A = this chain, B = another copy of it.
Amino acid sequence: MPVSLPSTEPSGDSVSRILAAAKDLFARHGYDHVSMNAVAGAAGVSKANVFHHFKSKDELYIRSLSQACEASRSSLDAMEEGDGDAWQRIRRFVDEHLDHMLSHSRDSRLILREVVENCPGTGQRLAQEVFRDNFNRLVAIIAECQREGALRPDLDPVFISTLLLGANVFFFQSQEVMRHLDGVDFADEPSRYGAMFVDILMRGAASGPVANEGEKP
């Protein structure tokens, strides 16, 4: 049986290179700004070759986004709730979620742009599914922590989850801007950002006793 590795690798290599280049360019510049010629050039193949492997620009984009979503979903699945008390678990989720976004910023940008730009289509559906999975995972954690008595019973886990995801997403999106804002010294310290955020989420920011407008046993 002949060893045919040299013959099968170029093909797989091209598709991989094309997808990697596409993900990079689409993430950085968005769908409309990126031409197929640019993708081909970045992948080191001809444009016609790109069209040999992918039926259209749209298919290339959806494949790229799909891979990003799969990677994000794998990361979510690999997230272990582990041990610790409620707030430690919450803190761990915040840290791991933010760490994933930052260390896979290309994928994260692809997904987030679809969520934020709100253009109907397959791309948006894929990205929203990932977003929803993250959200539901977090709601489950928060609800569990609430059942254990760690969170005020008058609070909605759904709302807390929104705040948590929002804080992380905002950090990811605005990191570059924050670096240039006077007084911001945490733009390059995501873990510290997470710690400060969870601290305030847990204990609040008010000084001293607060008017008891809500129910807080």
Q: Which residues of A contact B (CB under 8 A)?
A: 29-30, 32-33, 87, 115-119, 128, 131-132, 135-136, 139, 146, 149-153, 155-156, 158-160, 162-163, 165-167, 169-171, 173-174, 176-178, 180-186, 193, 196-197, 199-208, 210, 213-214, 216-217
A167 contacts across to B, CB distance below 8 A: 163, 166-167, 170
Instruction: Tell me whether A201 and B204 are in contact in the complex, defined as CB-CB below 8 angstroms, given that A30-B30, A167-B167 are known contacts.
Output: yes
Known contacts A166-B167, A167-B163, A196-B159; A207/B152 CB under 8 A: yes
CB neighbours of A201 from chain B (8 A): 200, 204-205
Total identical chains: 2
Instruction: Choose among B139, B196, B206 the residue that contacts A202 (Cβ–Cβ < 8 A).
Output: B206
